[in-house]
Every structure is written in C-alpha cells, then in structure tokens.
Structure 1
C-alpha cells in the first residue's frame, strides 16, 4: 500500500528504514582516514590486524589481515534471547550449538535469576565494527540469495585501507538491498529462507531476519559515529 507516495507494507517500511539509516551512515563515513579507522582509544581493543599479530584466539579472515574474535560466550544482553529460544522449543543442545558454547553454559543462563551482571565487552575500533558489518551482510547474502556454500569467515578480505573498506562495504550493502527489495510476501514469511549458519536465521521467518539485520546496521553505525566524534575531540578534551 502507498499513502502519498510512501509505502506502508512490511517490506516497504523496512526498506525505508534501511535507506534512511544508509543515508545517515554515508554522511558519517565521509572523509574516514586510515589512522582514524584503525585508532585504538583504549588498551585491549579488538580491531583488524596482520595475521601474525592477531591478539585474539579466533581471529579470522582469508588474507593477510584478520578480524579479532574472542572465545565464544553468551553476553548478558542476550539472556532474554536464550530464554526465547528455549520457550520456542529449541533444545539446550541446539542452543549451545547455535552460540558455540557448552550445554552447561546455556543451562547456567537459563537458570539465572535477577538482573544479569554487566558485560565486560571489549572496545572495538572503527575498522572492527565496519569489518564486522561487512562480514555479517556478506555472509547473510551468500546464505540467503547466493549459493549457500561459502564459509562466511572467508568471504571478506579485510583491509587496513579505510577508503577501500568503505567502498567494498557499500557494494555489499547495495547487493543486499537489491535482493531484499525483490522479495515476495511468501518469501518474507518463509521460515529458514536464510540459512546463515551463525545465529538463528534458519529458525526464523525472513521478515524477522530482515528487521534484525536493520538493527545490526543501525546500532553499529551509531557506534562508528560516536568513535568518529571521540577521534575528532581527542586533542581538545580538557586535561
């Protein structure tokens, strides 16, 4: 349905949300330089690094540069998601496999009562956040619209060049957007239309996967925008 030229159907609303977020993100990424892209504002950041300098146990990538990744766990911010998965009928074994953690860890989360302890998540660089988004959308496209064969962790050749990273990322996002825009209502409602292996995509109707992808794009781009603000202010902050 359209009202005054604006789509109000489910797909139209999500595409419009994506496009508005894209417009804002493009402005916020203008002029990103290599030093800022790789800036580590505090010790212990996750970033992209040369393979022989990787600082985390599961850093990955097909080329010389890899994306930091630590030991798998279930963050406190996802405890509600674990409860939702269990309530939907997923077994503890399946949830553990989904999150790459032990059955004991899932049982611990499900048994938790009261407010969870705050997560001690690492600070990540602009390079990491952009690489994380690139990897995620490239993998979801491959396992939704592509051949569904390629290992997602081998799809993105991470680069220390900010300009190159931004150009490659927008190419992936354009491909994703074009494919999503051509979907039918039946496809949007199909459980498992996406078979992306990292996450719950195979167990959800694609419309749920799609709003989740928008959320991922928006919140990581907001983080990148904040890091750019901090970079700009780093020499002007009071001592």
Structure 2
C-alpha cells in the first residue's frame, strides 16, 4: 500500500483512527435486535429502564426511559490519573469537583499506596454502553461546537428499540466527526475549547479531548463486540 500524499498531522491521524473504528463498529452492530440490545448477562447489570423502574440512584434521561447511573466515585483504574492531576498542580478541591466526589475521597485516593483493588463495577448491557456513548458524543458536540447550554444528561431520549437507538446514535457520532474534521491547528491547542461540564475537558487542549473521545468509543465498542459474541454463543448452545 502506497503512502504517497498521506497526511501525518495530528488531526489526520486521530480522524483516520476514528474512521476505521466507526467502520468496524457499524459492521459489528449490523443485525442488532431488541432482545440482544437489552440482554442482561448477569444479575445487577446497569441498562436503560422505564423511568418508574430505575434501580440506580442517579439514573437520568429526559424521556420515558433512563440510563442507569450510581453514586459518584473514583474507580481504582483512575487513581493514577488523579495522582497525575494533583502532581500537575490541580487542587484537591478542583479534582473533587471534576469527579463529583468529596475532598476527603480525593485525599484518600492520593494517600493510597500499592496496587489498587480491582474495581467493583457493574456489568453493563449493550443498551447502556450505546446510551453512554450517545450522550457523551451529543454533549461533546454541544459543549465544543454548539451553544454550550444543554445538559448532556438531558440531550438523549433513550429508546428500548435497537434500531431507533442506533439511528440516533450514528447521527450524533457523524455530527461530531464532521465538526472535528474542520478544527484548526490553533483550536487543537486551545485549552477550554470544549466546556463539557463533566470531567476535565475544560482544562485540556482540545486535541486531548478528541483523542479521549476516540479512546472512549473504541473501548466501549470492543466491549459491545464481546457481548455480541457471548449472545451468539449462548443462543447457539441453547439451540443444540
């Protein structure tokens, strides 16, 4: 394969990676049905649920269906990131605000020594993972390219229909991709170009926000692919 004329600037590399990931994800999600979309492979899963049946304390969404969300915490896998933030000069109060936890919890994390205990996090359904990504991309666009007013948690009308959810999801992803594709070099380096109200986007150069969005997409799509494999094997074995 020739590389003559290939662009190697920062944005092109990130966009090429994202485009390849979305192509693979579209193929991997083909044929997703409602039962598989909502399948809970283990007790205690997080998913989307009718508002009156929510089982988590901070489930959210503007419509009849809401996305499960538990009490805020700093997962063990993010302890190193918290330490990096503190070492970089971020105050404990700011870290606590970004993670929606108490100052005491941040201090506990910073005082931790040795290997963190594995995260005790719930398994999530395909519906949850798609809903999580959808509200992140919808909110990411709003707070970087839109009016920066809408709460990301109120922007996505979650649906129990896999077909409806996928159509809405890909529309949000495509809008994000089109907007990012027009970003200038100056905007890539602008700290606070994104004012996304949850997390640290407002404190980072926008190139880091773009890279983080791509990473989030890739790792959740890998999880969805595995769930689809488990669903297929489960139903193949049960049909024997």
Q: Same fold (TM over 0.5)?
A: yes
Cα displacement (A) at 1:3:
4.4
Q: Deviations over 1:145-180 (max 9, x none)?
A: 000001111000000000010111110011000000
Q: Secondary structure at the match of 2:66?
A: strand
Tell me if 1:69 matches 2:69.
Answer: yes
- C-alpha distance in 2 between matches for 1:179 and 1:219: 22
- C-alpha distance in 2 between matches for 1:190 and 1:81: 21
1:174 is matched with 174
1:42 is matched with 42
Tell me if 1:156 matches 2:156.
Answer: yes
Tell me if 1:203 matches 2:203.
Answer: yes
1:220 is matched with 220
Structure 1 segments unaligned to the other structure (5+ residues): none
Paired residues, number:
238
Cα displacement (A) at 1:88:
1.3
Structure 2 segments unaligned to the other structure (5+ residues): none
Tell me if 1:14 matches 2:14.
Answer: yes
Q: Deviations over 1:43-68 (max 9, x none)?
A: 10000000000010000000000000
Cα displacement (A) at 1:84:
1.0
Cα displacement (A) at 1:30:
0.2
Q: Secondary structure at the match of 2:144?
A: coil
Cα displacement (A) at 1:237:
4.7
1:143 is matched with 143
Q: Deviations over 1:25-58 (max 9, x none)?
A: 0000000000000000001000000000001000
Tell me if 1:82 matches 2:108.
Answer: no
After superposing on structure 2, the runs of 4+ consecutive aligned residues of structure 1 that deviate more than 6 Å are none
RMSD of Structure 2 on Structure 1 (CA): 1.4
TM-score w.r.t. the length of structure 1 is: 0.97
1:99 is matched with 99
- C-alpha distance in 2 between matches for 1:6 and 1:45: 44
